[in-house]
Homo-oligomer: A and B are copies of this chain.
Amino acid sequence: MGKVTVIKIGGNVIDNPEALKRFLGSFAQLPDDNVLIHGGGKVATQVAEKLGVQTTMVDGRRITDRPMLDVVTMVYGGLVNKQIVAQLQALGTNAIGLTGADGGTVLAHKRPVKEIDYGFVGDIEEVNSGQLQAFIRQDLTPVYAPLTYDREGNILNTNADTMASAIAVDLAAHNEVTLVYCFEKKGVLSNPDDDQSVIAELTPSVYAEYKASGAINKGMIPKLDNAFRALDKGVSKVIICHADELALAVASGAGTTLTQSV
């Protein structure tokens, strides 16, 4: 059973060239096989604005109409993805930039319309982990843009956290998988106002206590629920850490480590 680390890097790092460079430097030094999933960042909104494409947000989520789909396909699948691939190649990592359409590796369906029509947004159905493993066996490092494929000719915009989790779960059937969410805090905080109050380990029962006390706040809850679901489905370990502490987090557990039990 091989070890694979699936790492998600958020938009705030993508937006900061220096932070991205530091992050990619650590990523390139990691042991084992790795898969990177990157978020979008603000550049899509900026490009959309300049192109005269209106950005509609509902509850903090972007509505992906056809013109916006073209923008995210360009920006996430082209600009951001290929710049990351080129930088990783220069660091000696044999990166390959992908969307879910490439090799049919991440298949999704358009989110059904209920109260809100999110537009061309994909809910993931299936990850072709066989193809992903074939890439990994060839010493390629897959770098995913947060875009999936609907089997009917359409790219779909997809949440990068969800995509990372789906890829990690599928790879977990044949590998020992660590899933790492890199973001702008040092980990999950017990006191949202104190950046040093990092919770080192979270199990479902400890998480339940923090939720009950209100210490873990609204924004973290979907991320953590999603992370615990990945553990339920076979991922060995989930780490939530600062992008600058990736190497440390993978090596010795900086940030917050989520496990099924201590």
Give the B-binding residues of A (Cβ under 8 A): 47, 50-52, 70, 73-79, 81-83, 85-87, 89-90, 94-99, 101-104, 131, 134, 138, 140, 147, 149, 151-155
Cβ B155 vs Cβ A82 within 8 A:
yes
Contact of A82 with B97 in the complex, beta carbons under 8 Å: no
- Which residue of chain B has the shortest Cβ distance to A137 in the bound complex? B134
Q: Within the complex, what minimum Cβ distance (angstroms) separates A59 from chain B?
A: 27
Q: Which residues of B contact A73 (CB under 8 A)?
A: 78-79, 82-83
Q: Determine if B82 and A101 form an interchain contact, defined as CB atoms under 8 angstroms apart.
A: yes
| Residues in chain B near residue A98, CB distance under 8 A | 96-97
**Neighbouring B residues of A51 by C-beta, 8 Å:** 47, 50-51
Cβ contacts under 8 Å, A79 to chain B: 70, 73-74, 77-78
Cα separation A152 to B50 with both chains bound (whole Å): 30
Which B residue's beta carbon lies closest to that of A152?
Answer: B90
The smallest beta-carbon distance between A86 and chain B, in angstroms, is: 5
A83, A86, A94, A138 — most chain B CB neighbours (10 Å): A86
Q: Which one of B52, B85, B149, B153 contacts A102 once the chains associate, using CB atoms below 8 Å?
A: B85
On whether A83 and B155 interact (CB within 8 A), knowing A50-B50, A97-B102, A104-B94, the answer reads: yes
Chain A contact residues, majority secondary structure: helix
Note all chain B residues with C-beta closer than 8 A to A131: 138
The CA of A85 and the CA of B155, in the complex, are separated in Å by 9
How distant is the Cα of A152 from the Cα of B101 in the complex, in angstroms?
28
User: Which residues of chain B come closer than 8 Å to A97, judged between CB atoms?
Assistant: 98-99, 101-102
Take A50-B51, A86-B101, A97-B102 as given contacts and tell me if A138 and B149 are in contact as well, using a CB distance cutoff of 8 Å. Answer: no
Q: How far is the CB of A158 from chain B (nearest CB, A)?
A: 13
CA distance A168 to B255 in the complex (A): 49
Chain B nearest Cβ from A17, distance in angstroms: 12
Name the residue of chain B whose CB is nearest to the CB of A87.
B153
| CB of A180, distance to nearest CB on chain B (Å) | 23
Q: Say yes or no: B86 contacts A149, CB within 8 Å.
A: yes
Closest Cβ neighbor of A53 among chain B residues: B50
**In whole angstroms, what is the CA distance A160 to B253 when docked?**
47
In the complex, what residue of chain B is closest to A134 when comparing beta carbons?
A: B138
